[in-house]
Amino acid sequence: MLLAGAAFLAGAMNAVAGGGAFVVVPTLIFSGVSPIIANATSNTALWFGVLGGARGFRREIFAHRRLLPRLLVVSICGAIIGALLLLLTPPIFFQRLLPWLLLFAVLLFSFSGRLTKRAFEHPHQAHWQLLAQFLVAIYGGYFGGGQGILMLAILAFSGLPSLSAANGIKNLLSVAINGVAIIPFAIAHIIDWPLALMMAISAPIGGYLGAKAFRHVPTPIARGIIIAIGASMTIALFLRA
């Protein structure tokens, strides 16, 4: 029930402003799941919610499909590398690294509004985008918390007309990154499938109800709640480590 509730909350958070991994990964760990398995299971469970998000932006994705081929190629390659790096990481090292990864993701989420706003106010073509997307995909395959924010910052330099268009492309790239990472995780048997499938059911429900419930909540308040949750989970992980 605790894990189903965490996935429900994560789905609602992702629907409003993002940051669902701030809840699911720590909850799995505090429930007794080892950190690496918790990370792989969270990636698998939340992938279904990301898939639904990409479907919701299908018009924006189709309108800007010219950007997709190269971005998808580097995203898939980076995700495979990131997932393999996770498999090669000693469990005790990842357990000590995880609080720092979560801290990085929370700080990134905290300042993401200003970052993406400035980028979209001063757009220009950037030639470093493919390399940056490749590095983000490696990070996404390895951990993934905050990867959407990083991709929005990169896509802001693509000449896209709006944040909605960038969100559509970002969601499709997230589907590719998280989906490809599932393959080596499954082969290595580090996914707790019963937990992943249970959370995969409750996360989309939370996303649907969360979007309806928070439709009239000001974005700064929603972001503040998510930052507070993420900060609390980060502190708890540091104390546990």
3-state SS, one letter per residue, for 17-70: CCCCHHHHHHHHHHCCCCHHHHHHHHHHHHHHHHHHHHHHCHHHHHHCHHHHHH
Tell me, what's the pLDDT at 122? Answer: 56
Q: Which domain covers residue 38, as residue numbers?
A: 2-240
pLDDT band at 116; cut points 50, 70, 90: low
* Amino acid identity at 80: I
DSSP string, 76-138: HHHHHHHHHHHHHS-HHHHHHHHHHHHHHHHHHHHHHHHHHHHHHHS----TTHHHHHHHHHH
pTM, full prediction = 0.81
pLDDT in tens, 150-173: 887 787 777 676 667 777 888 888
Distances (CA, A) of 238 to 43, 108, 159, 232, 233: 21, 18, 40, 10, 9
pLDDT in tens, 1-17: 889 988 888 887 776 66
- In angstroms, what is the C-alpha Rg of the chain? 17
> Could you tell me if 238 and 99 are in contact, meaning their C-beta atoms sit under 8 angstroms apart?
yes
Total structural domains within the chain: 1
The segment with the largest mean pLDDT, out of 37-46, 47-56, 229-238, is 37-46
